[in-house]
Amino acid sequence: MRCAILTIGTEILFGQIVNTNTVYLTRELNHMGFDVLYHHTVGDNAARLKELIHETYKDCNVIVCTGGLGPTEDDLTKETIAEAFGDKLEMHQESLVNLEAFAKRRGWKEITPNNYKQAMMPTKARVFQNDVGTAPAFALMGEMDGAGDLISVKDNSEVFDKEDLKIIVTMPGPPREMKWMWNTHIKPFLLGFSDKSLSYRVIRTFGIGESKLETVLLTLIDGQTDPTIATYAKEGESSLRIASQRATKEEADAAVEDMLEKVREYIGKYIYSIDDEDLHQVVGRTLIEKGISISSCESCTGGMFSSKLVEIPGISQVYDRGIVTYSNRAKIEELGVSEDIINEYGAESPEVAAEMVKGLARVTGSRLCISSTGVAGPGNSQGPKGEIPVGDMFIGVYFDGEVHVKEMHTGRDDRVVNRNSCMLTMFDEIRKVIDQKV
């Protein structure tokens, strides 16, 4: 299916809000094997919206709309879409009942005429009720005639050739409502137009170079069209999406799992999730599940690690404390790092990373301790043994009495990138040490 994502909302064209719905839907549609040909955003303007719908159907089957369904603006979007499909609005009984029930649950004093309009629907629409807001979603289906006019139908069984089918779906704009509507109703509805069953997995990796990943992928996909593999890279982390569309769900699942095994053979040690989880989520969950007590001390990352770890609900079961020892005095007083070692090697050194983590283990008694120190930038740093290049960072890892230091040399003069990359590597080092030793 060839499709377009159409966002309706003046506030996006004013720059007041960022269009995150399009990013989400783009990935979803690609995962489903749909081809995304366009992203469009228009304001609340009927003429432009109608023109754009007609233009888009010249080479698309499906238009996925978000926004423009709020109580103050809904006539415009809904009426225009209905009109584009040669349809008109009428009160939709099920939506009306739902609206009244929603108003009662929330204790509204009255239902305004504007709210009532939210229950008006195109007569031929397939309507999807909204359990998390007041605006239902709907779909219209039809065919385009020779003159470029759309002829709508009540049911897709009335339709012709699937190649000619034109579908529009509309969802509310607030991301929480949109995602609920998408996953509950719209995605299954759209998948219903496919003869095939879809299966996919998003695999997350850390630490693998982009060129290595490319090489592996070229080897694995070598001419085959199903399953497909796509990659999404950002700052040291890469995601792989393996997707398959087969006659049955079982076949599709099996094809994805087969490919996953092949991918593991090449890059298994870099994989930290086969279910699209974040690295800190995987690590946090592992620490809680295995009951491994942990403390952290940070210099260059400055609390980024602890802040990320504390995102995990329930982490208080294992996380004792984090110390941001930004000054040398704090390293000495809090962790008992010796002043001599700082003077001899400099605060930004593997030796100090090791001393920090040893000190932290003494103070806290935690089974796992982790430290960071290094030059985040901007610019190189001056150490006692000469210049320390920006991007040189050191991570101390203490586990059950043993200590090792991971050295990083990013070569990047970018404070944000360096700190983020050091923080992620801290999580990856924890993952690896638990993997090897527990």
Binding residues for its own copies (CB under 8 A): 7, 12-16, 18-19, 22-23, 26-27, 30, 36-43, 45, 48, 51, 55, 58-59, 230-232, 296, 298, 301-307, 309-311, 313, 315-316, 319-327, 329-330, 333-334, 363-364, 377-378, 415-416, 419
- Output the smallest distance, CB 378 to its own copies, in A: 6
Q: Which is nearer to its own copies, 58 or 105 (CB)?
A: 58
In this structure, how many other beta carbons lie within 10 angstroms of the beta carbon of residue 173?
24
Q: Which two tokens stand for residue 143?
A: 């065919």
For the bound state, the minimum distance from the C-beta of residue 3 to its own copies, rounded and expressed in Å, comes to 10
Helices (H), 107-135: 113-117
The H-or-E segment that residue 197 falls in is strand 197-206
Pick between residue 30 and residue 338 the one whose CB is nearest to its own copies.
30
Q: How far is the CB of 251 from its own copies (least distance, A)?
A: 25
Nearer to its own copies, 267 or 294 (CB): 294
Token pair 């070229």 in the structure block, residue: 218
156 vs 231 by CB, closer to its own copies: 231
Amino acid identity, position 252: A
Q: Considering the complex, what minimum distance in angstroms separates the CB of residue 41 from its own copies?
A: 4
Query: What is the smallest separation between the CB atom of 296 and its own copies, expressed in angstroms?
Result: 8
Find the helix packing angle between 249-267 and 210-221, rounded to 10°. 130
For residue 26, the number of C-alpha atoms closer than 13 Å in the C-beta half-sphere is: 12
Closer by beta carbon to its own copies, 121 or else 213: 213
| Token representation of residue 11 | 């506030």
Q: State which H helix or E strand residue 381 sits in.
A: strand 381-383
Buried b (16+ CB within 10 A) or exposed e, 17-29: eebebbebbbbbb
**Pick 150 or 376: Cβ nearer its own copies:** 376
Closest separation between CB of residue 29 and its own copies, Å? 8
Tokens at 58, concatenated: 């010249």
Pairwise CA distance, residues 28 & 37, whole Å: 14
